């Protein structure tokens, strides 16, 4: 009986603070996300102004990388399919930025107090990275498909064409592009 009452209290707490999931709102609907997370509107505007990051592109990257989970990490490798080992990479947070990429971002922007589990910082990172893809690789800031390939493969990997041999990576870029299109259409009904 005590277990049940603790469970009820926990559920009530989750509902009282707007849900237990990171972010709140429906991740497939940008209007729902912005309605539930008002500060994200300001974050999106800042990234747009600073880096030229289209809101629908930035949100599509976050959706693909972490499903709007602030604490997202890659799965652990397993020995014999059972014993947990280290993680596949150091990626973390909304943007799944690796330690190395985050360090480059901090150095380039001179921002020291940024955190990968802060939504505004994650959007700023994506904007910076895509701006670097534009500068280094000549990619349009509206070209979700190629920007995502560069984001996933790294600038060097993209330039060398490593992604061309991977149906999985191209599939991720296609899904991100489709989601960006959905978000762009939704934003016409709930402009920020």
Task: Please give the residue that has the higher pLDDT: either 111 or 8.
Answer: 111
Q: What is the pLDDT of residue 133?
A: 98
- Domains in the chain with CATH codes: 23-187 (1.10.530.10)
Per-residue model confidence (pLDDT) at position 73 = 84
pLDDT at 7: 36
Is residue 26 pLDDT above 70, yes or no? yes
- Helical ranges in the chain per DSSP H: 2-16, 30-36, 39-51, 55-66, 99-109, 119-137, 144-160, 167-187
Q: Cα separation of 94 and 78, whole Å?
A: 24
**How many whole angstroms separate alpha carbon 121 and alpha carbon 88?**
23
Q: What mean pLDDT is predicted for residues 75-79?
A: 62
In this prediction, residue 84 has a pLDDT band, given cuts at 50, 70 and 90, of low
pTM of the model: 0.84
Whether 72 has a pLDDT exceeding 50, the answer reads: yes
């Amino acid at each position: 009986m005590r277990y049940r009452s603790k469970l009820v209290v926990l559920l009530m707490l989750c509902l009282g603070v707007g849900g237990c999931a990171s972010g709140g709102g429906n991740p497939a609907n940008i209007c729902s996300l912005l309605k539930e997370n008002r500060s994200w509107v300001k974050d999106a505007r800042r990234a747009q102004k600073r880096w030229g990051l289209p809101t629908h592109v930035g949100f599509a990257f976050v959706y693909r990388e972490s499903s709007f989970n602030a604490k997202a990490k890659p799965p652990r490798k397993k020995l014999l399919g059972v014993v947990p080992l280290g993680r596949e990479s150091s990626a973390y947070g909304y943007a799944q930025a690796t330690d190395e990429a985050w360090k480059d971002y901090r150095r380039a922007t001179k921002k020291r107090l940024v955190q990968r589990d802060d939504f505004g910082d994650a959007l700023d990172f994506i904007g910076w990275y895509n701006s670097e893809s534009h500068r280094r690789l000549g990619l349009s800031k509206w070209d979700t498909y190629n920007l995502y390939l560069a984001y996933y493969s790294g600038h060097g990997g993209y330039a060398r064409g490593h992604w061309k041999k991977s149906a999985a990576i191209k599939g991720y870029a296609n899904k991100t592009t489709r989601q960006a299109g959905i978000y762009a259409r939704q934003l016409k009904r709930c402009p920020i």
